[in-house]
Amino acid sequence: MNHVKTHPNRPRIVVVGGGAGGLELVTRLGRTLGRKTAEITLIDCSRTHIWKPLLHEVAAGTLDSHDDELDYLAQASSNGFRYVLGRMDGLDRAAKRVHLAAMVNEKGEEIMPPRSHPYDLLIIAVGSICNDFGITGVAEHCLFLDTTDQAEQFQNRLLEAYFHAHATGGVRETGQLDIAIVGGGATGIELSAQLYQATRLLSAYGLDNVKPSDLQIHIIEAADRLLPELPERLSKSTLKQLEKLGIQVHLGERVVEVTREGMKTQSGRFIPAALKVWAAGVKAPDFLKTVADLETNRINQIVVRSTLQTTVDDDIFAIGDCAACPWPEKNSTIPPRAQSAHQQASLVLKNLRRKLEGKAMLDFRYKDYGSLVSLGKYSTVGNLMGNLMGTVMIEGLIARLVYLSLYKMHQLALFGPFRVSMLMVSGFFRRRLRPKIKLH
């Protein structure tokens, strides 16, 4: 699909999944091995990539996905790897072939038949999806934020509800515009803050039959505090900021059923909502449970050894959210974060080179640099961890700058410093020429 030619004597390295870790890995493989040493291929079911931590901004409309998305085909052409459009749905380890499902268009018409793709070394980096835990009504009535399409679907539903209320003279029913977000982790909190900003912008752009106060944003969390993975002080600070914004936070409330009208909780409460978002945990894609007898855990993650190779096949690696990687220091597995995927991609790059050279594999050692949660322009909180200072709590402007730098680090891995600097300049002018919220 681009100018990189196949060669029968070169080892075939295939990366399935172009998320944060997979795309960084295949880009670096293409630059270092793809020209002469190996044939590098990326397989993904989408034609474009957007950094997943940005999807809550796409959902709120405060970020236009087309401004920040990357075309896989163009990235492959300029970085020495091949790109194949396809969705993995099976694996033949004996024949060393990845099975790809048929691709259909919006009308259900088949545009690409089922196929298979050969490999010598395989890296599975298919990410994660929301875990609905089998709760009644979630699949039917909730929106998810796993993909750009889902985020844009939410934004379209929000705009449709706003335009309808504006055209009919304002909110007439309880919960007509209310939004309920299940999950008090980073995704739910960041989405709620962006939605608060979006409602103010929509009123400022002329939809003034709907007042911002007509829309209630709810966060429903089963635990007794927000962000249980962060220190309690930061959970309290985040809660205080959300309460300042008027966002309703329901702690210790476990959702047991979702209906068209809203959420039912274990305590007997009913929270009405027109738009319902599920952000209460993740799992690896379901097809991994039965793929080629790979060992998986209860949330479908592929169990890997410290080298990031699977427990049953040395020629298959797994990284990112779909991998259950041991974390001996915590007696658990590595958390599903962008920094985890980035570090794992770096280790697999080294191990693939060593494998091709017949050298021993290196073990993965995760370094936790802390966590950050952004409440848009209103606040950012987090903790940074390092060898010199230990754990440092940060809030406000400094935390916001560190948060923004994480995305720039991802872009640097993909584009290099010159192009990133050009993207920053173009983004500066674009933000001043376009509306502050996507209105179509």
Output the CA torsion 137→141→146→150 (10° steps): 160
Please report whether residue 7 resides in a domain: no
Identify the band that residue 397 occupies on the pLDDT scale cut at 50, 70 and 90: low
Same domain, 191 and 300: no
> So what's the pLDDT on residue 101?
96
Cα gap 135→435, rounded to integer Å:
39
Cα gap 117→272, rounded to integer Å:
48
Same domain, 212 and 100: no
**Residue whose tokens read 């709760």:** 135
Please report whether residue 218 resides in a domain: yes
Overall domain count for the chain: 3
Q: Phi/psi at 346 (nearest 5 deg)?
A: -65, -40
CATH number assigned to the domain comprising residue 340 = 3.50.50.60
b/e map 381-414, b = 16+ CB within 10 Å: bbbbeeeeeeeeebbeeebbebbeebeeebbebb
- Residues 124 and 17 sit within 8 Å (Cβ to Cβ): yes
**Among 242, 203, 210, which residue's Cα sits nearest to residue 226?**
242
**Residue whose tokens read 């796993």:** 146
Cα gap 103→112, rounded to integer Å:
5
Cα gap 350→334, rounded to integer Å:
19
- Residues 200 and 245 sit within 8 Å (Cβ to Cβ): no
Please report whether residue 437 resides in a domain: no
> So what's the pLDDT on residue 414?
86
Cα gap 90→113, rounded to integer Å:
14
pLDDT tops 70 at residue 440 = no
Q: What percentage of the chain exceeds 90 in pLDDT?
A: 61
Among 356, 383, 415, the domain-final residue is 356
Please report whether residue 439 resides in a domain: no
Same domain, 150 and 271: yes
Cα gap 85→103, rounded to integer Å:
9
Helix, strand, coil fractions of the chain, as percent rounded to 5? 35, 25, 40
- The least confident of 192-196, 283-287, 435-439 is 435-439
Cα gap 121→433, rounded to integer Å:
46
pTM, two decimal places: 0.90
Instruction: Identify the domain containing residue 172 by its residue range.
Output: 142-278
How do residues 113-131 score in pLDDT, each as one tens digit?
999 999 999 999 999 999 9
Please report whether residue 166 resides in a domain: yes
> So what's the pLDDT on residue 2?
43
Cα gap 424→430, rounded to integer Å:
10
**Residue whose tokens read 């974060």:** 337
Please report whether residue 197 resides in a domain: yes
Please report whether residue 202 resides in a domain: yes
Same domain, 152 and 254: yes
- Residues 357 and 341 sit within 8 Å (Cβ to Cβ): no
CA distances from 241 to 58, 170, 187, 272, 418 (A): 22, 28, 16, 23, 37
Same domain, 28 and 156: no
- For range 405-432, the mean pLDDT: 77
Same domain, 325 and 397: no
Please report whether residue 438 resides in a domain: no
pLDDT tops 90 at residue 230 = no
How do residues 17-62 score in pLDDT, each as one tens digit?
999 999 999 999 999 998 889 999 999 999 999 989 889 889 988 8
> So what's the pLDDT on residue 438?
61
CA distances from 198 to 204, 205, 215, 287 (A): 10, 11, 11, 36
Pull the structure tokens for residue 133. 């835990």
Same domain, 27 and 102: yes
- For range 104-110, the mean pLDDT: 89
Same domain, 36 and 77: yes
State how far Cα 174 lies from the chain centre: 32
Round the average pLDDT of the chain to a whole number and report it.
88
Among 230, 259, 278, the domain-final residue is 278
Identify the band that residue 246 occupies on the pLDDT scale cut at 50, 70 and 90: very high
Among 278, 304, 321, the domain-final residue is 278
Please state the length of the chain.
440
CA angle 412, 416, 422 (to 5 degrees): 95
- For range 95-114, the mean pLDDT: 93
> So what's the pLDDT on residue 390?
52
Same domain, 379 and 352: no
> So what's the pLDDT on residue 437?
63
pLDDT tops 60 at residue 105 = yes
Same domain, 233 and 248: yes
Cα gap 148→70, rounded to integer Å:
12
Same domain, 291 and 175: no
DSSP H or E stretch at residue 237: helix 232-244
- The least confident of 7-21, 78-92, 161-175, 179-193 is 161-175
Helices and strands of the chain, counted as H and E runs: 11, 28
pLDDT tops 60 at residue 6 = no
- Residues 151 and 157 sit within 8 Å (Cβ to Cβ): no
What is the CB neighbour count within 10 angstroms for residue 254? Answer: 15
Q: What percentage of the chain exceeds 70 in pLDDT?
A: 91
**Residue whose tokens read 């994660």:** 128
Check the CA dihedral 252-256-258-261 and report its sign. Answer: negative
pLDDT tops 70 at residue 255 = yes
- Residues 324 and 366 sit within 8 Å (Cβ to Cβ): no
Identify the band that residue 93 occupies on the pLDDT scale cut at 50, 70 and 90: very high
**Among 414, 417, 348, which residue's Cα sits nearest to residue 50?**
414
Same domain, 97 and 219: no
pLDDT tops 70 at residue 435 = no
- The least confident of 1-5, 28-32, 305-309, 355-359 is 1-5
Pick the most confident of 54-58, 103-107, 360-364: 360-364
Pull the structure tokens for residue 28. 């670096």
> So what's the pLDDT on residue 3?
41
- For range 398-404, the mean pLDDT: 73
